[in-house]
Chain A
Amino acid sequence: MNEGTSQYYFTASMDSGKTLCSLLKAIQFQETAVFCALAEGLKLTVEEGKCVQASAYVPSDNFTEYHVRDDVDVMFKISIAVLAECLNIFGSGEESSLKMYYRGEGSPLLLVLQPQSMHNVMTDCEISTQTADSVLELRDEDAAEVAKLVLKAPAFLGLLADLERSCDVIEINLSPDHPNVSIITYGMQDRSCIDMPKSSDMVQSFSCESPVTLRYQLHHIRLIMKALGISTKVVLRCSSNGLLLLQLKLEKEDQRQMFSEFYIVPLLDD
C-alpha cells in the first residue's frame, strides 16, 4: 500500500466497468443501495419493503487493484441509478476503465472513467453518499435448508417470462417424487402449472428430502428476471422457514465471476 492511497478508506480499479454496470442494473429496483466494501470484494445491497433483499457481489479478483482499510467499516448509501449511469457515461458501446475512490465517512464516492478507444479523455464523477441504514438480516441460522436446486439461468428465465402477469401468487412445490418441481400460478379464473422433472436438461442438480410447498408473491419473483438475463446459472435454496435464497452466477469472458443474490420472504398461510 503506497502513501498516496492509504489515506482513502477504499480504492479500486478495473479494466472495464461494463459488466459491473449490467450487474448493478439487474438489482436496480430501488433508488438507493447500501455500498459495502469488504476485504473479499464489493457488495451492493438493495431492499424492497423488507420482503426482498438483492445483493450484487464483485469478488476482489475482478479488480486490477483493490484496497480497503481493515480498521474501519466501509459502508455507505448511494444512488444505484446514478452509479450505473456514471459507469455507462461513454455509452454502452464503449469499454472504459474505471477507478473508484472513497476517502472516508461523509465524503463522496469518486469515479474516474477512461474510454479505451480514446486517449486523453477522462471523466471524473463525484457521487454523494449517505450514512447507511442497517441491512436486514434475513438468514436464520437455525432454519435448515430443505431443498436445493441448480438450474440453467436462461431456461429458468424463459419459464418465468411465460407466467401470466396478472397473477399475484406463485406456488412452488418441491418433492423427491415425480414431478420434482412444479410451479403453479393462480390467475383470475385459470390455473397454470409447470412441471419440471429433475431429469430435465435445465436442472443441473436437485436435492430435496421431503415435499415442500412454498408460496411467494409473483411480483417479488419477477424482480430476479433482469439478473437471470445476464447470468448462466442459478441456485435456489429453500429454508424450512420458507425463505427463498437465489444465487446467480454471472460468468465473464475472463473466467472471473460476479454474483447476485436474492432473499425472498414467503407468503404466510391464511
Chain B
Amino acid sequence: MKCHVPGANVKVLGRTVHALARFGDELYLESLPDCILLRTLNAAESAYAMVKFNKNFFSYFNYNYYSTEDNEGLKCKISMKSALNTFKSPTHMDKQVENLEIKLDADACKLIFQLKCRHGIVKTHFVTILDCKAMQAVYTKDTVPNRITSPQRILSDALNNFQSSDDQLTLEATPLSLILRNYIDCSIDLTKIIRTQITLKPAEFDSYVIGTETIITFSLKEFRALLAFAEALNLPLQLHFETTGRPAVFIVHNGITFEAHFVLATTKPDSTSQTTATQNTSVERKKRKDTTSTQGSVKKKPHLDMDVSKCLDEDSHLFNFVEIPDENFIESNNKQNGHVSKDNKNNSKVEAMDCDNIPASPTSKTIKSVFKRCFESTFDPRSIQGVILAENSDSD
C-alpha cells in the first residue's frame, strides 16, 4: 500500500491519531481497495474507535502498490506512541507539512511515514509493526431507536461545566429533553462531591429522535476526546444509542472523505433486565452492520467476517458489562449506615413517584429528594416525619 495525504488533510489525520490516542495504546491500520481504516481499543475493552479514510481523502492511493498476489487488505498494528511521534503537533501541521506519504509493504516489518515539509525538509519515520492482525468490533448504529445530531459546540460547552475529576457521564434521553449528569459512585462520600446536571432541549440539536426513553452511563474521558475531535474539525456529532448495557455509537463524518465511529460501552442495566440484555448482545454480535446506500457503511469484504467472529469469540470483552451493585444492596447498605434512615419513609415515597429511577447512580436519590422539596409550593414538615431510627446526636 502506498498513499499520499495532501497538507491540509495531514492535519485531519494528525487530529485523528491524537483522538485515537486518548482511547487506546495500540493503533490498527488496515488498507482496503478503496479506503484506509484506523482502529483502536482501550485496555479495558470498553471503548473502541474506528476512522475510515476514503480513497478521495488521499491525493494518491494505491492499495496494491507492491503488487502482492493475495487481494486481502494489508493489516498492521503499531504502538500509539510511534503514531503520536509522527504527528507531533497537529495544530501546526498543515502549515509545515506539504505532503505525507504512507507506505506499507506486505513483507516489511516497518510502516513508513514520510513527511515532506517546508524548507525542503523530509522527515521519515520507520515505525515498527508489532502485529499483522486486524481487530474489529461489531455494533449497530443504523437500527437504533435513539439518534441525535448535535452541533459540536453544544455538548462540549455543556461538558465544560463538569468537574475534571468526573469520570462517567449519565445521559437521560426523553423526547422532550436530554439530561446530562455526572455519574456518582455509591461508594463516594456525598459530602465531598459536586453534582452537575444539565438539561438540553431538543431545539438545541440539528436533529433529535428518541424512540425509546433511556438512561445510559458511559466513560467521560473518551467522550471528551471525541468531542474535542469533532470540535477541532468543526463537524457535528451524531449520537446513536439504544438502552443501557448496549454500546453507544458516536459518529463524526464530513460526508465525503472520512467517517469516524467511536463506540463506548454503557454500564449494565439493573439485575432484572440483565438477562435479556445479554441475549440481545449475543444476537447483535451475529448481526452485520447494515449496508445502506450511505458511503459510511461500505460493504465489508467477506474475509473480514471470519476475522470478526474469530476476534469476538476469542477475546472481545468490548461490551461486557461493568459490575455495579444492584438497587437492593444499596438500599440495605444505606439502612445499615443510617445514612438515609431518618427519612426512609419519604425516600420510598419519592422513589415511587420518581419515574427517572436511575439504576446507574443509586445514591443520588437522597439528593433528589432534597432538591425535589425545594420545588414544591409549600414545605410540609410532616411529609418527612417518619420513624426516627436515629435521633439527632447534637442540637446543632
Interface of A is mostly: loop
Q: How far is the CB of B124 from chain A (nearest CB, A)?
A: 4
Q: How far is the CA of A194 from the CA of B124 in the complex (A)?
A: 6
B283 close to chain A: CB less than 8 A: no
Q: How far is the CB of B297 from chain A (nearest CB, A)?
A: 34
B125 close to chain A: CB less than 8 A: yes
Cβ-defined partner of A179 (8 Å) among B122, B125, B126: B122
A201 and B120 within 8 A (CB):
yes
Are A200 and B128 CB-contacts (below 8 A) given A158-B96, A192-B85?
Answer: no
A199 close to chain B: CB less than 8 A: yes
Q: How far is the CB of A131 from chain B (nearest CB, A)?
A: 45
Are A164 and B123 CB-contacts (below 8 A) given A189-B79, A190-B128?
Answer: no
Residues of A149-206 at the interface with B, using a CB-CB cut-off of 8 Å, are 155, 158-159, 162, 164, 179, 187-197, 199-202
Cβ-defined partner of A190 (8 Å) among B118, B120, B122, B127: B127
B119 close to chain A: CB less than 8 A: yes
Q: Mark B68-103, 1 if CB is under 8 A from A, else 0.
A: 000000000001011001001100000010000000
B121 and A194 within 8 A (CB):
yes
Are A155 and B85 CB-contacts (below 8 A) given A190-B126, A192-B125, A195-B124?
Answer: no
Q: How far is the CA of A199 from the CA of B79 in the complex (A)?
A: 35
B119 and A155 within 8 A (CB):
yes
A200 and B125 within 8 A (CB):
no
From B85, B121, B125, B127, name the one whose CB has the most chain A CB atoms within 10 angstroms: B121
Cβ-defined partner of B120 (8 Å) among A159, A164, A196: A196
Are A200 and B123 CB-contacts (below 8 A) given A158-B96, A164-B85, A190-B85?
Answer: no
Q: How far is the CA of A200 from the CA of B82 in the complex (A)?
A: 27
A159 and B88 within 8 A (CB):
no
A193 and B128 within 8 A (CB):
no
B120 and A200 within 8 A (CB):
yes
Are A202 and B126 CB-contacts (below 8 A) given A158-B96, A162-B88, A187-B85?
Answer: no
- Which A-chain residue is minimally distant from B126 (CB atoms)? A191
Q: How far is the CB of B96 from chain A (nearest CB, A)?
A: 7
Classify chain B: how many residues form its interface, as a range.
Answer: 10 to 19
Classify chain A: how many residues form its interface, as a range.
Answer: 20 to 34
| Residues of B contacting A162 in the complex (Cβ-Cβ under 8 angstroms) | 88-89, 123
Q: How far is the CA of A187 from the CA of B79 in the complex (A)?
A: 12
Are A189 and B82 CB-contacts (below 8 A) given A158-B96, A162-B88?
Answer: yes
A200 and B88 within 8 A (CB):
no
From A159, A195, A202, name the one whose CB has the most chain B CB atoms within 10 angstroms: A195
A195 and B122 within 8 A (CB):
yes
From B81, B88, B119, B126, name the one whose CB has the most chain A CB atoms within 10 angstroms: B119
| Residues of A contacting B123 in the complex (Cβ-Cβ under 8 angstroms) | 162, 192-195
Q: Mark B109-143, 1 if CB is under 8 A from A, else 0.
A: 00000000011111111111000000000000000
- Which B-chain residue is minimally distant from A155 (CB atoms)? B119
A193 and B124 within 8 A (CB):
yes
| Residues of A contacting B88 in the complex (Cβ-Cβ under 8 angstroms) | 162
A195 and B79 within 8 A (CB):
no
Q: How far is the CA of A197 from the CA of B120 in the complex (A)?
A: 7
Q: Mark B179-209, 1 if CB is under 8 A from A, else 0.
A: 0000000000000000000000000000000
A200 and B121 within 8 A (CB):
yes
Q: How far is the CB of B81 from chain A (nearest CB, A)?
A: 8
Q: How far is the CB of B225 from chain A (nearest CB, A)?
A: 22
| Residues of B contacting A200 in the complex (Cβ-Cβ under 8 angstroms) | 119-121
Q: How far is the CB of A181 from chain B (nearest CB, A)?
A: 9
Q: How far is the CA of A196 from the CA of B116 in the complex (A)?
A: 10
Q: How far is the CB of A167 from chain B (nearest CB, A)?
A: 10
- Which A-chain residue is minimally distant from B123 (CB atoms)? A194
Q: How far is the CB of A44 from chain B (nearest CB, A)?
A: 33
| Residues of A contacting B120 in the complex (Cβ-Cβ under 8 angstroms) | 196-197, 199-201
Q: Mark A74-92, 1 if CB is under 8 A from B, else 0.
A: 0000000000000000000
- Which B-chain residue is minimally distant from A202 (CB atoms)? B119
Q: Mark B138-164, 1 if CB is under 8 A from A, else 0.
A: 000000000000000000000000000
Q: How far is the CB of B97 from chain A (nearest CB, A)?
A: 11
| Residues of B contacting A191 in the complex (Cβ-Cβ under 8 angstroms) | 125-126
Q: How far is the CA of A210 from the CA of B96 in the complex (A)?
A: 31
Q: List 20 A-B contacts (CB under 8 A).
A: A162-B89, A162-B123, A164-B85, A179-B122, A189-B128, A190-B85, A190-B126, A192-B125, A193-B123, A193-B124, A193-B125, A194-B122, A194-B123, A194-B124, A195-B123, A196-B119, A196-B120, A197-B120, A200-B121, A202-B119
Q: Please list the 10 inter-chain residue pairs (A to B) with the smallest Cβ-Cβ separation, ordered nearest first.
A: A200-B120, A189-B128, A195-B122, A200-B119, A193-B124, A191-B126, A202-B119, A201-B119, A192-B125, A164-B85
A192-B123, A196-B120 known; 13 other A-B pairs, CB under 8 Å? A162-B88, A164-B85, A189-B79, A189-B128, A190-B85, A190-B128, A191-B125, A192-B125, A193-B123, A193-B124, A194-B121, A195-B121, A201-B118
